Amino acid sequence: MDYGLDMLSVHWLAIGEDGHAVVYRELDQPNMTIGAAVDAIKGANCDEDISAYLAPPDLWSRSQESGKSRAELFHEAGLTLEKSSRDFPAGCAAIHEWLRIDPETDTPYMTFHNVPHLWDDMCKIQVDEKDANVYSKTPHILTHSVDSLRYFCVWWASPAQPKENKNRKKWTADQWEDYQNASEKMRKYLIEKWGYPA
């Protein structure tokens, strides 16, 4: 997601077992308070099990007035965010990687369904005049949805701040077998349950 009072832009993505992604839902609304944004996002979830809500690092900057970050306010309103990377060139490179064609299937690694606003912005956004490796941040109205996608792409490639899990345990052969045969979602659950392998 990309959040500001000028625009809330959220995209839902699913990753298949083949490593391909589909962007299948979007939410773009201006002038949303954090509470209204949380309600809108939860309302659009359709009771799906969401693995992570990715957001830009600037949401973790503390306000001088309240002493709280917008990420904390999102959490208090019922939506816990996960920090993506602020590395703009790496994010742009990650988008290009996701848009490549998989030579084994002759299909893109990422496809888009029912996200006309994102698709329109991606078609209109220009290359930066000073750096051909990144997209232009003007006009700003075109960048919200593309930024939202970028936060996913760069996070998937290299999370900004991997959480240190001190819960490391020696796994048995059965645990390793269960983990290797599990889906990505189940693997996350098993790590939460058993801890990272020592």
Q: What is the DSSP letter of 67?
A: S
Which domains are assigned to the chain?
A: 2-157 (3.30.420.280), 168-197 (no CATH)
Task: Express each pLDDT in 181-195 by its tens digit.
Answer: 888 777 777 777 777
Mean pLDDT over 147-156 rounds to: 95
Q: What is the DSSP letter of 69?
A: B
What per-residue confidence (pLDDT) applies to 176? Answer: 76
Residue 13 has pLDDT above 60, yes or no: yes
Task: Express each pLDDT in 42-98 by its tens digit.
Answer: 999 988 999 999 999 999 998 877 789 999 999 999 999 999 998 999 999 999 999
- For 74-110, give one letter per residue: b (16+ CB within 10 A) or e: beebebebbbbbebbebbbbbbeebeeeeeeeeeeeb
* pTM (2 d.p.): 0.76
Lowest mean pLDDT among 87-101, 113-127, 163-177: 163-177
Coil/strand/helix, residue 75: helix
Rounded Cα–Cα distance for residues 29 and 48 (Å): 21
What per-residue confidence (pLDDT) applies to 165? Answer: 46
Residue 118 CA from chain centroid, whole number: 14
Residue 26 has pLDDT above 70, yes or no: yes
- pLDDT band at 161, cuts 50/70/90? very low
